[in-house]
Amino acid sequence: MCLIVFAWRPGHALPLIVAANRDEFYARPTQALAAWEDAPGVHAGRDLEAGGTWLGVGPQGRFAALTNIRDPGQAVGPRSRGELVAAYLKGELGVEAYLDQVASHSGQYSGFNLLVGDGQHLGYLHARDATPRLLEAGVYGLSNAGLDTPWPKLVKARSGLEGLLETPEPQRLLALLADNEPAADGDLPETGVGVATEKLLSSVFIASQNYGTRASTVLIVDDQGRRQLIERSFGPFGGHLGEVEFAV
């Protein structure tokens, strides 16, 4: 994932609302959101190159999602970051125990942000900090830096989510994720990829010939633990490839 905005509201009728875009090279083989036959109760997309995933839900109210840290100079870790999401969804460790485990060997992965939850708690780990934390109630955003780093697209999407919390209809959340307006030049972050690439990556929804938003996902969880999960898939230049929905 390259952008996740989410509202965490324990005790509310809708305690968790997530809207997220996964940005990736179109050539990387991917399976759209589906029930995993080899992991009962897991619903997620799948990276067919490394076998992991970027966002999904699992048994006992499990939820997990991941973004990469953008840093052209970072060392490439020998293990795939997507396995961190998949392992939590398929596993049994609690939120804190799992994040502590990941923190102990986070150096084996390229930089990442990891969210994991179980319906009662929502935890966050930034690989370079390696200090897990449980999140308090609030509205948050993650892109390719730390939690709530105020990149323009994060600020815009988080504000958009805040405006939809009274009526969080899936189609309105998906429309929020479809915003392809780039940031103004003066507002672009400096992450070492050059101005042209910063501009391309600055919109909520990214579209180009080789790289862009591959999936837009909405998750709405109610206070009974019921989860509505919707994913739209895209190809080069943002071409719409399909939509999948699960109620689990």
pLDDT of residue 130: 78
pLDDT of residue 224: 96
Q: Give Dmax (Cα) for the chain.
A: 48
Mean pLDDT of 74-95: 96
Could you tell me which of 144, 138, 120, 128 has the C-alpha nearest to residue 54?
144
Could you tell me which of 149, 148, 145 has the C-alpha nearest to residue 136?
148
CA atoms within 13 A on the CB side of 93: 16
CA dihedral 49, 51, 55, 58 (to 10 degrees): 160
| Average pLDDT of the chain, as a whole number | 96
Q: pLDDT tens for residues 184-242?
A: 999 999 999 999 999 999 999 999 999 999 999 999 999 999 999 999 999 999 999 99
Domains of the chain and CATH, by start: 2-247 (3.60.60.10)
Residue 1 reports pLDDT greater than 80:
no
Mean pLDDT of 154-163: 98
pLDDT of residue 160: 98
Mean pLDDT of 60-85: 94
Q: What is the band of 128 on the pLDDT scale with cuts at 50, 70, 90?
A: confident
pTM: 0.96
pLDDT of residue 73: 83
Element (H, E) at 197: helix 195-201
CB proximity list for 231: less than 8 A, separation 6 or greater: 32, 33, 45, 215, 216, 217, 218, 243, 244, 245
Could you tell me which of 11, 228, 226, 216 has the C-alpha nearest to residue 122?
11
pLDDT of residue 171: 96
CA distance 200 to 183: 9
Q: pLDDT tens for residues 97-118?
A: 999 999 999 999 999 999 999 9
Percent of the chain with pLDDT over 70: 100
Residue 181 reports pLDDT greater than 80:
yes
